[in-house]
Amino acid sequence: MDKKKTLNLEDIFADDDLGLLDVKEKNPAITEQDRLIDSFREILEFYYQNERLPLEGNSIRETTLSYRLKGILTNPEKVDSLKHYDSAGILNISTEKKVPEVLNREVQSIEDIILDDHLGLLDDSVEDIFTMKHVPEKKTSMPDYVARRKKCKDFELYKPLLVQCQNELRAGKRKIISFRNEQDIEQGSFFVLKGVLLYVAEMGKRKVEKGKVNARLRCIFENGTESDMLLRSLSAELYKHGRRVTEHEDIEFIDVNKDDIGTGYIYVLQSLSEKSEINQINNLYKIGFTKNTVEQRIKNSEQDPTFLMAPVKIVATFECYNLNPNKLERLLHQFFGTACLDINIADENGVMHRPREWFIAPIEVIKQVILLIQSGQIINYRYDLSTQTIVIK
């Protein structure tokens, strides 16, 4: 009979193929500084959403944030440690004003105690009972990029749309209903998220991820901020805290629903003609429609009087649904009026043509017009040639 081999500790550890004896690193405890940073980020989020500092008396949450900010400002060490995270310059804005003293008040409830915690004594250094220091943290799959709201630099371009939507809601032309289907999220649609009206200005290419359709959006909020959140992220937020705004009841030009299929593209072109009567015109663009790709539509532009018998440059393209090209042309001419280019162009055989889809207007205006067409809101606006801006009728 073979004698059993005596194993020492080194042999035991070396033979641990399954790693049962490995000592796992403990999750670091949440520090006082971590809590301070999280607390300050809540104040930052409030500032970005409301474009002002939190004030006392408006709501329990806002009052709490107000006292929390005052507590930070009375502590130079806290101010100094948070400057790196102050993307909005809140600490500079606040320190320019004298921090009001917090008056002693009679304590009658737990709420009074919390509201009087202006130094953050109740939430700055005390461990959360739900923060487990000795239990492995569950790892979740987090996205590489998280969308955050920021100031919308071209908000004036979208403000009329949001104002008009608000007016139509008051007039009963639109309704606010429950959000029930993420397929309702389309470019040009309106929603209410946590009491704030938003407009889906842009939608990127749809992609299938883990069996679900997703797309990057550009959402414009009525408070002047924007976010490039994903479609599924917006959908999740709307299910929890949002509502859908119905289409205008009088709109019949475009009616997009989840069963519709894209029928083509609206495109915007800029002429590269060397003729002085054309290249000297500022803000001259062609707006057209094609069921094929735009590249295929313009490949023979030098021989086509529609394109002024010259090369063209693609400026923008927009996918559209159920669009009637004849209605599009008629609508554009009605909208731009005298801003339409009036010119005669001879083809290769000397036959004269009069192109009808070239317009003199800033590209920002043209892009907004196309968004208005896609959303069906074009009927509520007109083009002011003298100011080269879009105004409400």
Going by DSSP bridges, is the β-strand pair 212-214/217-221 parallel, antiparallel, or unpaired? unpaired
Alpha-carbon distance of 194 to 302, in angstroms, equals 52
Q: Choose one of 62, 93, 115: the last residue of a domain.
A: 115
- Sole residue written with tokens 């630099």: 153
pLDDT of residue 140: 42
Alpha-carbon distance of 62 to 297, in angstroms, equals 56
Number of domains in the chain: 3
Residue numbers of the domain that contains 43: 32-115
For residue 212, count CB atoms less than 10 angstroms from its CB and return exposed for 0-12, middle for 13-18, buried for 19 or more. exposed
Q: Choose one of 220, 245, 270: the last residue of a domain.
A: 245
pLDDT of residue 99: 45
272 and 382 share one domain: yes
DSSP code for 170: H
Residue 158 lies in a domain: yes
Q: Choose one of 70, 97, 115: the last residue of a domain.
A: 115
3-state class (DSSP) for residue 51: coil
Where helices occur in 171-248 by DSSP H, the ranges are 231-241
pLDDT of residue 221: 93
Assign 3-state DSSP to the chain and report helix, strand, coil percentages, each to 5.
35, 20, 45
pLDDT digits (tens, 9 = 90+) for 358-367: 999 998 888 8
pLDDT of residue 389: 85
pLDDT of residue 259: 47
Residue 123 lies in a domain: no
Please, are residues 245 and 176 in contact by the beta-carbon 8 Å criterion?
A: yes
pLDDT of residue 43: 86
Alpha-carbon distance of 391 to 234, in angstroms, equals 30
For the chain, 393 residues long, the average pLDDT of each consecutive 10-residue run is: 58 62 58 82 80 78 84 88 79 56 45 47 43 49 58 88 86 87 84 90 81 86 91 89 79 44 79 91 90 90 93 88 73 83 89 89 87 76 85 76
Say what the pTM is.
Answer: 0.39
268 and 171 share one domain: no
pLDDT of residue 191: 94
